[in-house]
Each structure stands twice: as C-alpha cells, then as structure tokens.
Amino acid sequence: MLDNYLPVLVFILVGILFGVGPLVAGFVIGPRRPYDEKLSPYECGFEPFGDARAPFDVRYYLVAILFILFDLEIAFLFPWAVVLDQIGLAGFLAMMVFLAILVVGFVYEWKKGALEWE
C-alpha cells in the first residue's frame, strides 16, 4: 500500500528540488559585489519610509475570498459543460438551481457593499 504513495513522495521531492535548487544555485554561482547603496531597501527612488511589513488593506481579503468563491464555480461549470449533451434537461436544471442560489448570494454581497472599494 505504501507503494501507492511513491509517486507522491517523488512529487514532493521534485517540488522541493525545484523550489530550493535555483535559490541555492543563485546563491552559489551568482556574483556578489555588495556596497551601501545596493544593500539599502529600494523604494521607487524615495528614501524608504515605513516598515516593509505594512499590513494589507483588509479589503484585499474580501476580494480574495470572493474570487475563490466564483473561481470554484467555474471549476464546477467546465465539467458540466463538457457532458451537457449526456445529462439532459435534469442536469441543465440542476446547474441552473445551483447558479440561481449563487446569484442570490452574489446580489446579497453586492447589496451589502462588499464590492465597493471606497
């Protein structure tokens, strides 16, 4: 049974290699000639102000969550579209009910002002 997981293990290893490898390679073979200007943080030609770890605007989170929701909806729609000719009217109606519920939710968030930036 562990055999089944061998590809997963290989996948993980390759993933790690892919991520860490270039970093290490860059670190090892890249030329490094540091001086003061190069080491200072760069901010569009200004003198840096504020901390690099400034918090994101909370609205980004809202947008991100809404994006995930409707992104997943697409994930449902693609397979449905592919087999639409086989599942017939019932399948069509089922998806319409699903979309209708989703639309109600969409209108709700719109009304609640979740899509307003200001």
Partner 1 sequence: MSAETVLTALLPEVLLLAGLLLLIGLEIAVPRHRGAFAVSLLAVAAAAAAAAWLSAGGSSAAPFPGHYSVGPDTFAAKAVVLALAVPVLLLARGEFPGGPFYPLLVSSLLGVCLVVSADSFLTLFLGVELMSIPVYVLVVLAFQREESAEAALKYLVLSGTASATFLLGVSLLYGGSGSLALSAFSTALGSRDVLATAGVVLVLSAFFLKAAVVPFHTWAPDAYEAASVPVTAYMAAVVKAGVLFAVLRLFALAPAERPLVDLLALLPLASMVWGNLAAMRQDGLRRLIAYSSIAHAGYLFYAFLGDGPGRFQAVTFYLLAYGLMNVLVLAALPPAGDDVARDRLERLKGLFQRQPYAAWMIAVAMLSLAGIPPFPGFVAKFLVFKNVVAAGYPVYAVLGLVGSYLGLYFYLRVIQYLFMAPPPPAEEASAAEGEGAPSRLALAATVLCLLPAILIALFPGWVIDRLGG
Question: Is residue 107 within the footprint of partner 1 (CB under 8 A)?
Answer: yes
Which residues, listed in sequence order, are joined to residue 46 by a DSSP beta bridge? 43
Among 111, 113, 117, 118, which residue interacts with partner 1 (rule: CB under 8 A)?
111
Question: Considering only CA atoms, which of 58, 99, 59 is closest in space to residue 77?
Answer: 99
Among 1, 44, 54, 75, which residue interacts with partner 1 (rule: CB under 8 A)?
1
Question: Is residue 89 within the footprint of partner 1 (CB under 8 A)?
Answer: no
Cβ 92 to partner 1 shortest distance, Å: 14
Q: Which whole-number Å values give the CA distances from 89 to 83, 86, 100, in the listed order?
A: 12, 9, 16
Please give the Cα distance from 17 to 22 (Å, whole number).
8
Q: Which is nearer to partner 1, 7 or 50 (CB)?
A: 7
